[in-house]
Structure 1
Amino acid sequence: MTPTDPKTLRSGPDFDRDLAQSLRNRIADRSARVGVIGLGYVGLPLVELFASQGFTVLGFDVDESKVVRLQAGESYIGHISSERIQALRDGHRFEASADFSRLSEVDAILICVPTPLGTHREPDLSAVIVTGRAIGAYLRPGQLVVLESTTYPGTTRDVLRPQLEARGLRAGGDYFLAYSPEREDPGNPRYSAANIPKVVGGWDPTSGELAQALYGAVVPSVVPVSSCEVAEACKILENTYRAVNIALVNELKIVFDRMGIDVWEVIDAAKTKPFGFQAFYPGPGLGGHCIPIDPFYLTWIAHTYGLHTRFIELAGEINTAMPHHVVDRVISALNEQSKPLKGSRILILGAAYKPNVDDCRESPAVELMELLQERGAIISYSDPHVPALPPLRGYTIRLESTPMTPETLESQDCVLIATDHSLFDWDLVVRHSRLLVDTRGVTRGRVKGVNTTIVGA
């Protein structure tokens, strides 16, 4: 398809008002067609949400294997069943494509692409830029473009918008531009895209109002803010808040351990206070696509303004160091058993970054595998949600999950708990492991085997 020159489509002084009203009407009667770019842990739930509310959705992804699977009604995300994808396909509400020229067919384009960190922990917005160029090649007057990918304040205005406007269209007059941060929490049984309030900030008032109307058609609560930058900063604040508090309990865990105090008991006691305290829990490090990354986006943009976010940077250092702390605890525990790390058989329980999902992005469990393997340990892992480690940015380790049986546990020099999946039989683990290093506090109060040594980490 050859891109149409957008300038030839303009029709007079009321052009922008007519375009806005037309899109407003199409959203209201659900005849607007929604495009979602990036069909992963954020994009696919968004597809399901809009399709379930009566919109026709066209999903885009550069990974053609994903497109093929979705077209066949097959899911590749653990908490979204294939039956749900097949129902969307059977209802003729969803189609997947790798042909980005079809962007001209949709009325609203929602961008859900990865925004990872680069080698030096700088923002990597290459996916946003490439996606913006792809949209810009086929952008037509009257379309609404919304960025959902987590990023620093100013990205929608200064990074995405120039890519969209390469052929002459202008935000707020020819097309409409907004930012609405994703708030997806994979595997959360209580909250999903359908019931989480949606923050929306527009490039201009009309763009903001149209984005509010679009999301308001599918979620019970929309929170309008004054600009794209405020919406971008909101997402950064949400995840930096969590990262800083997790860093606090990670540091306290190390301090309390040295003092002979059980940090889990301390947290259990503190959270009985009905005000002024929210429980956060220590672990082997941060995982997922947001919390380990977003604070570094904020520190980077702060540096461009000549500011240093010392408190946030310190939290990042603490959380980043946790896998190394866990490795040190494993080495120390093996030494107590008169065994070196090199040549020891270590089973990692859990590969996903959090319980009951198959998402391994930025998982501290994978970093632990690589760190221990680099030091000569013989590594295996067991995870009922992750049958094989997927290719992961920055990691080279490739393993398949080992069934967790008494024989497997007993054959290990050390069992390391990295992820506390509810499918794990923790009593079995405690009974049959000789040396158990617990980073999640799940073994507290359980009956040990006669030869079991448990070490917190």
Structure 2
Amino acid sequence: MLCQRTSTASTSVRPGMRLRSKESSVQVGVVGLGEVGLKFAALAAESGMQVLGVDTAPARRRIATHGLRAAGYEFDIPGLLVGEAPEPSDVHVICVDSPIDSATKKTRLDNLLLAARTVGAVLRPGDLVIMRSTVPVGTTRAGVIPVLQEASGLSGGDFLIAFAPERTSTGGTLTESRTIRHLVGGLESRSTQRAVDVMTQAGMPCQAAESIEAAELGKLATNAVRDINQALANQLCQIAEMHGIDIRRLVDDVNLDYPRDRLKHASPGVGGSCLTKDSYILAESLLPVPPQDTLFGRARIVNDQAQEPTISSLARHFSRHAAAEVRILVCGAAFKGSPPTTDMRNSVGLHVARELVNLGFDVSVYDPVVPASDITGIGYRHSSLPGDDAWNAVLLYSNHASLSSARLSQQIVDSISHDGFIYDPHLWLTDLVVRDAAPGTRYRTLSTERVID
């Protein structure tokens, strides 16, 4: 018996069940229900397509079915079916993660190739496969297509395939998905055009790329250029600190009315799932050159080390105290605060919290958006509000707007004990610190620090 769908709710599909045939509607199977897959599923469903969301993780299936709003997404997916394995569909969209191995800095493709094999098992002549997972240049042609052929028994021309990467910013809305150009590169012109047609129908403006490889390279370049520019800013910040220069003011002065090559502002580091891996994936596309010998790999190293000066400064400041007696609050479990997200992958704040725990400090973590259970679930002590307790140090890694509010800013400054430490890379507390901070407080920004007397 077929699973019935409503017009507004999601439901589950049992193994072996099939999407209902409906002549006027495209059937789409979305494999991988992380943010990339959920966004595609929502856009496709809103356009009237029949959508099956596939994920092997029960937690992700539960979020897709019942918990999108609670998880921070500002959209629903009308009529979504949810299952553990792909079913025959007109279009299969592969959106599984392709993480970087922490030791080798190379892409782990096991999840992707397994997803391709499960799609291949139900692939039919004339079906379209759209790849959304980020991969080294050449992976779709040399790695994914052979798996699809082997699992399906079809030859190269029997099915269509295109690479159409996700390039929107992490966050729970669909606004950017409806406005930016989505690169689409197919195996041949038929594949490209079919993918463009499907995605355009789903409300995603498209730009046809020269080939599959061109779309793969374009996705990596999109994030690598941001990572490299950020690395430039962060190394300039190191020089600025050596000479007591306010790097934020310097960047503003340099950029003012200057028509070329604007500098980015320095940052406490780079987090998230894309910027922290795409440069390494791009470096991998240059094999056998080691990642550290490429521009992309060097940028990663610079940005990964951007928080080390702050950790060292804090450790020196409290060197005369027993570390276990120093109470530190790290604000920022999500990898960014604007736009808000609950995504904690490669969070700079959590990395710093772990480093401080390893040094023996008493560390708590606060985030304006991430649920307390998610923070405690990965082994950190949670604080409900920065101003609710007394702290020896507060580190403001999150750029969530709530942390800049006058009331909360005052509470943060008032919560710091004598001879405390404040890290304020976003310059939200400067005036309050000068006026109200306890004597002996060390106030650090991106490139400057001073002790309040």
TM over 0.5, yes or no? Answer: yes
- Determine the structure 2 residue equivalent to 1:319: 303
Q: Please state if 1:98 is matched with 2:84.
A: yes
Q: Distance in 2 between matches of 1:366 and 1:124?
A: 23
Q: Distance in 1 between matches of 2:253 and 2:303?
A: 24
Q: Distance in 2 between matches of 1:39 and 1:214?
A: 19
Number of aligned residue pairs: give it. Answer: 412
Q: 1:131 to 1:415 in 2, by over 3 A?
A: same
Q: Distance in 1 between matches of 2:309 and 2:155?
A: 51
Q: Alignment partner for residue 415 of structure 2, among 422, 432, 437? A: 432
Secondary structure class of the residue paired with 2:34: coil
What are the equivalent positions in structure 2 for 1:328-407 lying under 5 Å apart?
328-335=312-319, 338-355=320-337, 356-388=340-372, 390=374, 397-407=378-388
Q: Please state if 1:111 is matched with 2:104.
A: no
Q: Please state if 1:413 is matched with 2:413.
A: no
1:247-301: CA deviations, max 9, x gaps? 1111111211121111111122233235223442322321111111011111122
- Determine the structure 2 residue equivalent to 1:446: 431
Q: Please state if 1:161 is matched with 2:145.
A: yes
Q: Alignment partner for residue 36 of structure 1, among 18, 25, 30? A: 30
Q: Distance in 2 between matches of 1:420 and 1:250?
A: 17
1:438 Cα deviation from its structure 2 partner: 2.3
C-alpha RMSD of the superposition? 2.6
Q: Please state if 1:66 is matched with 2:60.
A: yes
1:305 Cα deviation from its structure 2 partner: 7.1
Q: Distance in 2 between matches of 1:230 and 1:112?
A: 19
- Determine the structure 2 residue equivalent to 1:19: none
Q: Alignment partner for residue 300 of structure 1, among 274, 279, 284? A: 284
Letter in 1 for 2:384: P
1:98 Cα deviation from its structure 2 partner: 1.3
TM-score when scaled to structure 1?
A: 0.83
Conserved 8 A contact 1:60-1:97: yes
Secondary structure class of the residue paired with 2:285: helix
- Determine the structure 2 residue equivalent to 1:268: 252
What are the equivalent positions in structure 2 for 1:130-141 lying under 5 Å apart?
130-141=114-125
- Determine the structure 1 residue equivalent to 2:15: none
Conserved 8 A contact 1:179-1:232: yes
Secondary structure class of the residue paired with 1:285: coil
1:455 Cα deviation from its structure 2 partner: 1.3
Q: Distance in 2 between matches of 1:341 and 1:283?
A: 27
Q: Distance in 2 between matches of 1:342 and 1:249?
A: 34
1:450 Cα deviation from its structure 2 partner: 3.6
Letter in 2 for 1:108: V
1:17-49: CA deviations, max 9, x gaps? xxxxxxxxx99x961111111111111111111
Q: Distance in 2 between matches of 1:315 and 1:110?
A: 31
Q: 1:397 to 1:370 in 2, by over 3 A?
A: farther
Q: Distance in 1 between matches of 2:246 and 2:69?
A: 39
Q: Distance in 2 between matches of 1:437 and 1:280?
A: 24
1:215-265: CA deviations, max 9, x gaps? 121235311011110000001111110111111111111211121111111
Letter in 2 for 1:453: R
Q: Distance in 2 between matches of 1:242 and 1:427?
A: 34
Q: Alignment partner for residue 208 of structure 2, among 224, 233, 243? A: 224
Secondary structure class of the residue paired with 2:318: helix
TM-score when scaled to structure 2?
A: 0.84
Q: Alignment partner for residue 186 of structure 2, among 180, 184, 202? A: 202
Structure 2, gaps ≥5 residues long: 1-20, 447-453
Conserved 8 A contact 2:391-2:415: no
Conserved 8 A contact 2:94-2:133: yes
